[in-house]
Structure 1
């Protein structure tokens, strides 16, 4: 090979290596700030100090939507008075806090993928569209603890209206099964949590139940109406609310 050809080959090889090095450096360039604002990195903060010590039962994942179907309850002054009296009775031994949005769960908390949402909501609406409105009544106070043992709840147990709720849960379980999601608890105890505390304080609260139920009964005699007309359910998916009206 002539000296000129050798020189050309060397220069060609050097140019190729330089281009490859430039490409590698280019691929490592940081994303411009303008694009960072358009495509921000999603980070979900889970700071228990910002939620009265509460922690997630399972970590948040992008694309997963925490969901629940439930019966809503509208708080009122007599209800708030009952909560105040119970909190005062249990202090300082047990520090109870109000449940922010009291409700009666018809499903466990479950996770939907984004592309499931529309079909799931349509299926739920179709399943309960023939259900009639009904009245619900609370019986007494009961104590519950979550599966992780991280929180204990004081709740109003459902009395009248159990049959209608049971039928609703059965059809909702069928909708959940289509997505291989867990059904409601086998031995369901329908209730509405009204107060909670951190940790497993079930035995301590159950020891106080006889006296707490006296407080409850006194409020019922005075002004607290335990009969609630149920006209709709709520399906909450992420921050979006779907109103499921009954006939």
Structure 2
């Protein structure tokens, strides 16, 4: 999907397993839902060793505590060193950068909406995204809190794309994206509004990221964006850049 420098370190970040492979990180037009939406389960790859605790005994996972899922590694040992034990931090299973909110799109709108997005997007050139530090985010409903890696370079290109996507959304009276957005890729989440607690953990999380950056070269920390990916129900649409 991407060229050289596809953020390979974070592609290896994961936990659960199933029968399907997960794509690498992508720039996403987020997802819209129709009444027939269905989503396949996805597989995530092992977490980087820097986040694991090699000095402690192996963790015995109980699938009953994780909705029947079996972890490929005992990730709770790693987060206990950083995040308070009473916060159950889960790994994200789908790396992306959101460019729209999640909206409800009627079935009869899908084709014209996709065509509208294609018209707006086709004039944009390919560009590069560089990732910076970790940051804490919370959704509008305050039901989930996220740890994400914010965008260090490529913000202006993403903002211009969002402005055009907002035009397509307005044609169907759908809500625009956030004003002054903080573009990021979420890597972990937990239930509830835990911004205060997770913000207290950020210095140590960013210290780990800095260690990773010192160990691995810059090619692991950027993405060359060649197209956007939109998800509507169980369908995906590619919007290629120039």
Fold-level similarity (TM above 0.5): yes
Alignment of 1:92 with 2:75, yes or no, is no
Which residue of 2 is the match for residue 239 of structure 1?
Answer: 234
Q: Deviation of residue 92 (structure 1)?
A: 2.1
CA displacement 1:42-72 (0-9 Å, x = unmatched): xxxxxxxxxxxxxxxxxxx974869xxxxxx
Match of 1:226 among 213, 221, 224: 221
CA contact (8 A) 2:34 2:105 kept: no
Higher relative contact order (CA 8 A, sep 6+): 2
Q: Deviation of residue 81 (structure 1)?
A: 4.3
Which residue of 2 is the match for residue 202 of structure 1?
Answer: 195
Q: Deviation of residue 80 (structure 1)?
A: 4.2
How far apart, CA to CA, are the structure 2 residues paired with 1:137 and 1:151?
26
Alignment of 1:109 with 2:71, yes or no, is no
Distance 1:146 1:119, change over 3 A: same
TM-score normalised to structure 1 length = 0.66
| Structure of larger gyration radius | 1
Q: Which has the higher helix share?
A: 1
- SS of the aligned residue for 2:149 comes to strand
Which ranges in structure 1 are unaligned for 5 or more consecutive residues? 1-60, 67-74
- SS of the aligned residue for 2:208 comes to helix
Q: Deviating runs (4+, > 4 A) in structure 1?
A: 79-86
TM-score normalised to structure 2 length = 0.68
Q: How many residues align?
A: 178
How far apart, CA to CA, are the structure 2 residues paired with 1:149 and 1:121?
30
Over the aligned positions, Cα root-mean-square deviation in angstroms equals 2.3
Which ranges in structure 2 are unaligned for 5 or more consecutive residues? 1-32, 39-43, 54-77
